[in-house]
A and B are shown apart, each in its own frame.
Chain A
């Protein structure tokens, strides 16, 4: 298990490095000089040259990439072009808001999705199974921002049960501020997760070892938990792990709609202002978290299933 984990960790670092290189290259391929962008169209050539030098843009591309890597390793993501603040500081200020939002969204997806999938597999072809099927497909088809707008309309404007704006102050207020945005992101994943759990439950339920467990008179709940669900939940774990990337992009919209602070709102603002260091830093950190999420889902599966530990 330890060997497997370290193998996966090395692989993750490689993935992040490749992603960073591609990102830096892309920034150079995009037309336009960052220095001109910052200084505006009326800047003097001397000033542009000075800024390019300050940003290290006058050096050859490989040198720039190596320097960029070196800076990242030292935790230096550059400075905000307007305020001069450290990008890493800005990003890590905003990160917790997004992380908690995404974690709670995953919680919605996992808890509701697994419970519904499990329930409809155990009671397949009943009206409840059909209902969950229809609801799942329905929620999968609704984009997060549409769900966000309608949930604001229903729960915040009409019913006035939950707050719609900001992140809240104090523990309980923060919790109530999380419910609507996280639900808006998580609900379409409830559909995905419940469908995939249902399908793999049905497959595992037909396997001989489940029949053998029944032949020993083990209680049904026990069989469902340790003989069926422990295997059937694996595709859902992979789905959620790889889905974190999509959750981040959903968070971009949802944070703007709910006026929550967070990485998504930060990126949107920075893109509008052409504040490249912040875009780069935020995307870099996001990439790291997405890779980390995939790593965690791989490790969870290895922990659930001994056969996966030897598959490297």
Chain B
């Protein structure tokens, strides 16, 4: 792992602008009675300013852990074991609880997976939307007006009347719109969306994704969009990072990665996407095997046990992120220029 740092390619080209968040060598561990789980290992990734970065991977790959570490809401048994998260000169990896609290709901906001349980069930929508404006030095009437304004932004029908409703009186799609309105209301620089459409049905999913895209363009914030649904990532994101077993295995421009995936895991992921299946089949394609035990991450490539293209070097050598050109990079020895020569 350590040897890989030296060969890291330069960061994705940003068209001149500095990224909003630079994650550099971030490692997160979970303490368990049977030893530490190395949930994130040496993550190096930029969240571009004013763009949408997608984070994809199968369950347990660490994508949610990465999202939560960007808002300081990791579980109690988790700790940042190394690395930095830089946002405008502040290292988020070292923040104290009080400093985190100052950032949350101000510079960083989050939309959660399940809208059915994310809102306080015993408080009205309006009160919750006013509560999150507690830092503003404005009167109740103005807070209320702002709440209505943002409920209209998320195209909630009859927005003003929804202020006095309780969450259980709204449908799942409406609740997720409320959650998006709340997240945008705080005018964050970084909006983290942790699988915001997973709990919704397919038609609602597309509506929410379209809405997120429109609002992101309107407000110009950076979005970290966590999903395991490749279709929504293609629809919504500018850039994508593919995660496997606590590592970023491939990253780059969405169109480029989707057109020409360089890592065997990304390729396998695309082959398993039900949306790509053209012919009727009795069995959906899967990637054989399971995630490695993250208590003892394997020495070589984390994916080699499931990789159809694995060769000797993958057993011993941990691959760095090789530059694949055009800002695309993949953590696979097949992308090592030295392998081509061999």
Complex: how many Å from CA A41 to CA B44?
A: 99
Encode B149-167 as 1/0 by CB contact (under 8 A) with A: 0000000000000000010
Interface residues in A200-215 by Cβ distance below 8 A to B read 207-209, 211-215
Q: Which residues of B contact A60 (CB under 8 A)?
A: none
Contact A215 B106 (CB under 8 A): no
Interface residues in A206-252 by Cβ distance below 8 A to B read 207-209, 211-219, 222, 226-227, 230-231
Q: Indicate whether A305 sits within 8 Å of B122 (C-beta atoms), given known contacts A211-B112, A216-B105, A218-B134.
A: yes
Interface residues in A169-215 by Cβ distance below 8 A to B read 207-209, 211-215
Interface residues in B101-138 by Cβ distance below 8 A to A read 101-106, 109-110, 112-114, 117-123, 131-132, 134-135
* Residue B66 at the chain A interface, CB threshold 8 Å: no
Interface residues in B38-83 by Cβ distance below 8 A to A read 71, 73
Q: Inter-chain contact count A-B, CB under 8 Å?
A: 69
Q: Give the interface SS of chain B, mostly helix, strand, loop or mixed.
A: loop
Q: Which residues of B contact A212 (CB under 8 A)?
A: 110, 112, 118-120, 179
- The count of residues in chain B whose C-beta lies closer than 8 Å to any C-beta of chain A is 30
Complex: how many Å from CA A218 to CA B182?
A: 13
Shortest Cβ distance from residue A151 to the other chain B in the assembled complex, whole angstroms: 38
Complex: how many Å from CA A215 to CA B179?
A: 12
* Residue B232 at the chain A interface, CB threshold 8 Å: no
* Residue A62 at the chain B interface, CB threshold 8 Å: no
Interface-central residue, A207, A212, A214, A218, by most chain B CB under 10 Å: A212
Q: Give the interface SS of chain A, mostly helix, strand, loop or mixed.
A: helix
Q: Indicate whether A307 sits within 8 Å of B121 (C-beta atoms), given known contacts A215-B71, A215-B110.
A: yes
Q: Which residues of A contact B121 (CB under 8 A)?
A: 209, 231, 305-307
Q: Indicate whether A208 sits within 8 Å of B118 (C-beta atoms), given known contacts A218-B131, A306-B166.
A: yes
- A211-B112, A226-B123, A307-B122 given; name 10 further pairs at CB < 8 Å: A208-B113, A208-B114, A208-B117, A208-B118, A212-B112, A215-B105, A216-B109, A226-B131, A306-B166, A307-B166
Binding site for B on A (CB under 8 A): 207-209, 211-219, 222, 226-227, 230-231, 304-307
> Can you list 13 A-B contacts (CB < 8 A)?
A208-B113, A209-B117, A215-B105, A215-B112, A216-B105, A216-B132, A216-B182, A217-B106, A218-B134, A226-B123, A231-B121, A305-B121, A307-B122
